[in-house]
Structure 1
Amino acid sequence: MSKAGALRLLDTTVGAGPGLYSRIVERPGLGLAPADLEGLIADVRSVAHSVLGDRDLNYGVFSGDPETLSRTVLTVVYEKRSRRPVAFNALAILNADLGGRAVEVLHLGLVMVRPDVRGSGLSATLYGLTCVLLFVRRQCRAVWVSSVTQVPAVVGMVAETFSDVWPGRPAARRSFQHERLARQIMGRWRHAFGVGDEAGFDADRFVITDAYTGGSDELKKTYEAAAKHRDAVYNELCATELDYDRGDDLLQIGQIDMRAAGRYLGKVAPPDTVPGLIGGFALLTIQTALLPLVHWLDHKQPWGSLRAWKT
């Protein structure tokens, strides 16, 4: 059995649109052979060079650090004919705790798309599909997600894709869980997304001040250069809360759950289509019939008052 198989890590290939496919690999530093890992990182760097030219990033997956790659989920999109890598997303798996219980936070991390294929709707694959697959892999338990960005388009995408996101929509509210996770992320994991120790954090607004000092310097943008969202509310949020001259970022925290999975399904397969109807029915069946049984039989996970018997 391969190392990946022994660890039951996700390593799958799925379609990503006309003429494209994506490879999604969970914890490649643990699950891949050295040659395969080297090739995957080379593909990621190839996309980065197409975006940044000769400039290099010196943090995260680009560093080749084994520890970093052991807590990363990589999604790389390729052209089917040429097998040329055209986009990638590097999700970081961050450990935290809530109420004395260990939890994993999926940090949405860095996304890059070759300039010649932008506008082809890859964000649904790079963000939504990867998180949905990981959600299903975790028996459809709600999974916390986080994002650090100064790009209004990304702020809006996160707010509209995931559940209970703060800051996000105007009606969003910050909970104790949001604040608890934010403080842990900033206290323990800022190096995972290239934020230096000298950067500040406004816990009331979830704004990271002077964020581009820990290896992510090349990603700093002006407000005018940052991609805008179709809904002006997210553009206004960023313009109001962030100081682009200083280099601020917004920290967003939310969840991938059944509602978020359903919204993603509705985007890729509208509910008035046959695939959409089938997918919606499948989600309903899983939620109401299959998941309670799966959760009941799994004695390894705590479920509050719903306890499985021990064998």
Structure 2
Amino acid sequence: MLPYKCDVFDLPGLSWTPSEVRDMVIELRSLASTCFPSLPDYQCLSLSNLRCLDDKVLVVARCWDTNEIVAFTSAVYYEVPDVGTVLHTGLTCVHPSVRRSGFTSFLFSHLIPHVLKSYPSGIWMSNLSEIPCTLVGILSITSHVFPSLLEPFPSPTHVLIAKTLTSSYRHHINAPPEATLDASTFVFKDSRPPGSPFRTNPFDPDLQHRKKVENEYYRSMLKKEGGDDVLQVAFLDPLKVAKSIQARRTTVTHSIPEDTFMSAKL
């Protein structure tokens, strides 16, 4: 028997009681407190908004024996005019004791196929990160990714999704008022100000992807001192995703290197 189990909750806030929502948020905050020095009241970590799980797809990994949460990812749906429903990758946390054990890939291997059950023809998605490994990981499983080496210019759909997310849904990404989107590069500047618990060093050797060309492409877009994010807009194509997930999905053990995804921002 595997030492971990994984549950997927689709828009749980629409069916759970306020008490059930609060209990889950408290559990998620307990794990998140091991990953970040402080916790903002937002996304699936919000104690002030009992509707915080209404628009989320929550994937939770627990120990079989203790039922303790060891990792989770919380993606969010939002609406874009003339495009429809878009998925944002959201917030991912992995307990420090089991990092570099393949957990993020494990979570995403449950999240993405689940989402595609509801959107069998595919769905547009967004991802915001300053971690090269994350950015290359998203590139590896999606299509029509901007920015990327294969998409030098954004399409009208890319632009519409990016502008809608960064203007109308800033609460989903915890973006401060001073953060601005460069519409030509999709670099979201000053999105992680000094003191932000989510700020990282994009040049940290542990946060790089083994695909060197793609890794350098994204890293070159980021400041060495951190603080900016790359906003990727991409299409989840079921055929490409199926091939990618099948190649990556494996039993989670403490010896499996986690080099496909790292914790994406928000």
Tell me which residue corresponds to 1:220: 199
Q: Where does the alignment leave 5 or more consecutive residues of structure 2 unmatched? A: 251-266
> Where do residues 1-311 of structure 1 align in structure 2 (5 Å cutoff)?
18-53=2-37, 55-64=38-47, 65-98=49-82, 103-138=84-119, 140-168=120-148, 170-173=149-152, 174-213=154-193, 217-225=196-204, 227-245=207-225, 247-268=227-248
Contact 1:24 1:130 survives alignment (8 Å): yes
In the TM superposition, what whole-angstrom CA distance separates every residue of 1:74-105 from its partner, at most 9, and x where no partner exists? Answer: 1111011111100011101111122xxx5111
Pick closer, same or farther for the CA change 1:120–1:18 going to 2, 3 Å.
Answer: farther
Deviation at 1:39, TM superposition (A): 2.3
Mapped to 1, the partners of 2:94 and 2:191 lie a distance apart of: 23
Deviation at 1:36, TM superposition (A): 2.3
Contact 1:194 1:213 survives alignment (8 Å): no
Bigger radius of gyration among the two:
1
The one-letter code of the counterpart of 2:199 is K
RMSD over aligned Cα atoms: 2.2
Mapped to 1, the partners of 2:239 and 2:104 lie a distance apart of: 19
TM-score normalized by the length of structure 2: 0.85
Deviation at 1:197, TM superposition (A): 2.1
The one-letter code of the counterpart of 1:19 is P
Mapped to 2, the partners of 1:132 and 1:161 lie a distance apart of: 12
Tell me which residue corresponds to 1:279: none
Contact 1:25 1:75 survives alignment (8 Å): yes
How many equivalent residue pairs? 247
In the TM superposition, what whole-angstrom CA distance separates every residue of 1:97-116 from its partner, at most 9, and x where no partner exists? Answer: 22xxx511110011110111
Moved over 4 A (4+): none
In the TM superposition, what whole-angstrom CA distance separates every residue of 1:164-222 from its partner, at most 9, and x where no partner exists? Answer: 22123x223432211111111111112211112221110100000000259x9111112
Greater shift in the superposed pair: 177-186 or 65-74 = 65-74
Contact 2:7 2:59 survives alignment (8 Å): yes
The one-letter code of the counterpart of 2:106 is T
Identity of aligned residues (%): 23
Tell me which residue corresponds to 2:262: none
Q: Where does the alignment leave 5 or more consecutive residues of structure 1 unmatched? A: 1-16, 271-311
